[in-house]
Amino acid sequence: MSEPAGEPVIGDPYAFAGQDEFRERVRRLLAQSVLLHAEKWEQGACIPAEGWRTLGEQGLLALGHGGEDFLRSAVFLEELGRTGYAGVRAAVGVHAYMAPSYLELFGTPEQKRRYLPRIRSGELVVALAISEDGAGTDLSGMRTEALSADEAGRYVNGCKWPVVNGTQADLFVTLVRTRQATAGRGLTGASLVLVEGDSPGVIRRPEPMLGMRSADVCRIEFDQVRIAADQLIGRQDRALMYLMKALEFERLVAGLLAVGGVHSCLALLGAHVREHRVGDAPLATKQAVKHRLADLVAEFELVRHFAHRAAWRHSRGDLNSRTASILKLKATELAVEAAQVCVQYHGARGYAEGSAVARHYRDAMAGTIAAGASELMRDMIFEDMSYEL
């Protein structure tokens, strides 16, 4: 029996009223704005300006970051992942959630007024410039700095890589040193600043990755780039505190996107084993295949349920680092496992460069590295083991 319209789905304690209708609407919108164009975007290595504007017009770049509104975002992120284009999901995830979360959480009213409406409409594209060649998991090796200042502002010098949305970005949320590094003091003396993309001295070098091809990954050099005093996010030298909060949110977003990615991969796999015949019977008749798929589906259901719980906890202001790390770890590692099985059961056709299966396989590997490598997630879960389970 179907549920009455507008009622939460019985059995899903984390659903909101009207969730099914909302999901259906998001699916329809993404079919028009993403699925029709994603192959072209993969080839062009980015979402073009028109693509951003359409997503903005559909209202999909303006869903909430917190409170009850985030439950809508959770549905959107999962559905965006379910398109099966992880490059698109990375670009949109960074633009609509990971980068602007610093403005939402720590920006001044003037910074929010200046940038957020245009980010939400897709008129302005935003990127996150945190990592560097020598600073990823451990950011204490970061060298980009904004130490020199005069009455006109500060000057940013350094190089960030990898940066999603790199050629497109109008704004970079950038981590810099604002005090000389002191040995053993990690990120003390680091700050977050807003660098506008058209500032003289911003140099963009596209550096395509193995997968996530429409994510527009670049190396960004800052050569004596001037930023005004009001381009600092939050308080000077306090970036570590802000990063800890924002990275928790980033991992929640990455986890929800990955859950959608697993869904897409399992759908490909399920359809294939039913259709593809080896000898006189479909693959799905073989017990080894049935059991392998059953294991993946069982894990998917568990991770998906955990993801909905994590989103619900965030909506109540109750997300913690352990929950975000468990979700990110399990969802992205399941995506790798599912993609590997998907290639295997497709045989040579899954290994063909242009196939959707190969795309899932290439893309999945980035998930266990970006936004915090799996090993870091395990470290964080272990450190939190004193909590009651």
Site for ligand FAD in 7-66 (CB under 6 A): none
Give residues 176-215 in contact with ligand FAD (rule: CB under 6 A). 209, 212
Least Cβ distance, residue 97 to ligand FAD (angstroms): 12
Task: In angstroms, give the least distance from the CB of 118 to ligand FAD.
Answer: 19
Give yes or no for residue 377 binding ligand FAD (CB under 6 A): no
| Least distance to ligand FAD, CB of residue 298, Å | 26
Distance CA 113, CA 92 (A): 21
Q: Take residue 140 and report the two structure tokens written for it.
A: 């204490």
Q: In the window 105-164, what residues touch ligand FAD (CB under 6 A)?
A: 128-131, 136-137, 162-164
13-22's contacts with Cβ under 8 Å and 24+ in sequence apart are 13/312, 14/71, 14/308, 14/309, 14/311, 14/312, 15/308, 16/68, 16/71, 16/72, 19/71, 19/75, 22/72, 22/75
Q: Are 350 and 342 in contact (CB under 8 A)?
A: yes
Say if CB 218 and CB 203 are below 8 A apart. Answer: no
Report the nearest approach of ligand FAD to the CB of residue 9 (Å): 34
Q: Crossing angle of helices 69-82/19-30, nearest 10°?
A: 40
373 binds ligand FAD (CB under 6 A): yes
Nearer to ligand FAD among residue 261 and residue 289 (C-beta): 261
Least gap, CB of 376 to ligand FAD (angstroms): 5
- Residue 132 CB, shortest distance to ligand FAD, in Å, is 8
Nearer to ligand FAD (CB atom), residue 58 or residue 168: 168
Q: Tokens 């308080």 belong to which residue?
A: 235
CA distances to 65, 72, 73, 295 from 22, in Å: 17, 8, 10, 30
With CB under 6 A as the contact rule, the residue among 324, 370, 377, 380 that binds ligand FAD is: 370
Whichever of 220 and 269 has its CB closer to ligand FAD, that residue is 220
Nearer to ligand FAD, 168 or 323 (CB): 168
Closer residue to ligand FAD in complex, CB, 75/327: 327
Which residue among 207, 375, 382, 383 contacts ligand FAD (CB under 6 A)? 375
**Nearer residue to ligand FAD within complex by CB, 130 or 192:** 130
For ligand FAD, the nearest residue by Cβ is 136
Number of residues written out for the chain: 389
Beta-strand (E) ranges in 240-354?
Answer: 277-278, 281-282
CB 362 within 8 A of CB 351: no
User: Toward ligand FAD, which CB reaches closer, 153 or 211?
Assistant: 211
Q: Which of 171, 166, 198, 203 is nearest to 46 (CA)?
A: 166
Q: How far apart are CA 328 and CA 48, in angstroms?
A: 28
Name the residue nearer to ligand FAD (CB basis): 131 or 285.
Answer: 131
Beta-strand runs (E) in the chain: 126-129, 149-150, 153-163, 171-177, 190-196, 202-206, 218-227, 232-233, 277-278, 281-282
Question: In whole angstroms, what is the distance from residue 57 CA to residue 46 CA?
Answer: 19
368 is written with which tokens? 């266990």
Which residue stretch of 4-12, 39-47, 58-66, 362-370 sits at the interface with ligand FAD (rule: CB under 6 A)?
362-370
Segment near ligand FAD (CB under 6 A); pick from 60-68, 283-291, 350-358, 364-372: 364-372
Please, which residues bridge with residue 129 across strands? 174
For the bound state, the minimum distance from the C-beta of residue 136 to ligand FAD, rounded and expressed in Å, comes to 2
Query: Considering the complex, what minimum distance in angstroms separates the CB of residue 135 from ligand FAD?
Result: 7
Site membership for ligand FAD, residue 364 (CB under 6 A): no
**How near is the Cβ of 156 to ligand FAD at its closest, in Å?**
15
Rounded CA gap, 53 and 118, in Å?
A: 10
Chain positions contacting ligand FAD, by CB under 6 A: 94, 128-131, 136-137, 162-164, 209, 212, 217, 366, 369-373, 375-376, 379
